[in-house]
Amino acid sequence: MAFKSLALALAALSFHRVSAFTRLQARDGNDPYPFCNPATSPDCIVGGKYVKPDLNISDEPNAGNQAYLTYLPTHTYTLSQWSAGKYPEECHRTIAGDGFNPTDFTVHNVTYSDCPSSPWVICVSRLANKTPVQIATEVGRMPAGIRQATAAYVVYDENFGGAIGAVGGLIIGKGSYYFPTALVHEHGHAVDGDLLAPNDPFSYSDSAEWRNTVALDGYAATAYGSTAHAENFADIGRVVLINNVVPGGLAGLFPTNPNLTQIANQVARFQSKAGSYYQAGTTCDLSKKYRYPSVTVTVPTTTAAPTATASPYGQCGGWPATYTGVSACGAGYSCTTLNPHYAQCTPAPVRRSFMA
């Protein structure tokens, strides 16, 4: 398929700072519009309305994630590591652009049984809290129909300033966010922009057809989805996948929720446009699979382990005559001298931080 440029993909997708996501998690349950203000945000869903009680389909302990774990077993796969110092250009550019050292990452091809002729790439920090095998296993739960909208996965350690996001064929995030329901949501962005609108600088969720369907319902699927059409589209994708793979569908997961019909038109529209991708047992369509040009960056490497760093808010300096500990901080933190006897790793200004 035609490649979307990084700039176009960034324009097509909606990014939110982690602070906004934190506010959502801590919001007042009586507030119907958690942080979506239609007066200042034209992308807000119909005044910020969403299905209540909240659908617990977003976070790792919630019902949606547990359903995916039960009904989406991972596909079998083979994993092969790239030679040291070799990186796909897109991974290298992303890692370096986010302020990390590419030599602290390993690169692997992962070939799944549902798409044996075209591998995906995972670029994993050696300091990430999940191994390449764990990442390949979680990604492998995704049906090939939605996985084919991506080409590569970049996995950071927990010092990454954001959570997880999707852009231009990449899913980028800290290891702790590589769990099924987060991955379904991020693949939804890729489906929105690169499967349903491959030759358009905008995403399908920007179209009049989709927005008129949302207006017909008047509600978003979730509180987070109410903040932007792109986020709501990705969360409707979560609902459609549950309907397609979980016995009893969404109603089976939430039998006492009286308001599931508030998103019925969106679910039907999504099913008609992309439902075939959101089925267990799909195989990849190579004509639609997102692939980067085969450009490899070579970086001189050594066998040395990543530089030892102090933990967040840990000591990184002290009185020169007596302090012998580490003096470097992890990515996202800088060593701040608090007094002549003590320096501490404190958060550095975040260059780019998102939850999408």
- 133-168 pLDDT, tens digit per residue, is 999 999 999 999 999 999 999 999 998 888 898 888
pLDDT the model gives residue 321: 61
Residues 248 and 323 in one domain: no
pLDDT the model gives residue 10: 27
Looking at the domain assignment, is residue 306 inside a domain? no
- 328-350 pLDDT, tens digit per residue, is 887 777 888 877 777 888 876 53
- Count: domains in the chain: 2
Residues 227 and 338 in one domain: no
Looking at the domain assignment, is residue 140 inside a domain? yes
Looking at the domain assignment, is residue 353 inside a domain? no
Copy the structure tokens of residue 76: 């079998």
Question: In terms of residue numbers, what domain contains 340?
Answer: 315-347
- 18-70 pLDDT, tens digit per residue, is 222 232 333 333 433 344 555 555 566 666 788 999 899 999 999 999 999 99
Looking at the domain assignment, is residue 340 inside a domain? yes
- 176-230 pLDDT, tens digit per residue, is 999 999 999 999 999 998 888 877 778 898 888 998 898 899 899 998 888 888 8
Looking at the domain assignment, is residue 16 inside a domain? yes
Is the overall model pTM greater than 0.85, yes or no? no
CB 353 within 8 A of CB 161: yes
Residues 286 and 320 in one domain: no
Residues 328 and 216 in one domain: no
Neighbours of 57 (CB within 10 A): 25
3-state secondary structure of 275: coil
Residues 20 and 165 in one domain: yes
CB 155 within 8 A of CB 182: no
Residues 329 and 192 in one domain: no
Residues 86 and 127 in one domain: yes
User: Residues near 240 by Cβ (< 8 Å), separated by ≥ 6?
Assistant: 267, 270, 271, 274, 275, 278
Looking at the domain assignment, is residue 248 inside a domain? yes
Residues 293 and 333 in one domain: no
**Cis peptide before 42, with omega less than 30 degrees from 0?**
no
> Nearest 5 degrees, angle CA 171-CA 287-CA 89?
40
Residues 245 and 330 in one domain: no
CB 62 within 8 A of CB 181: yes
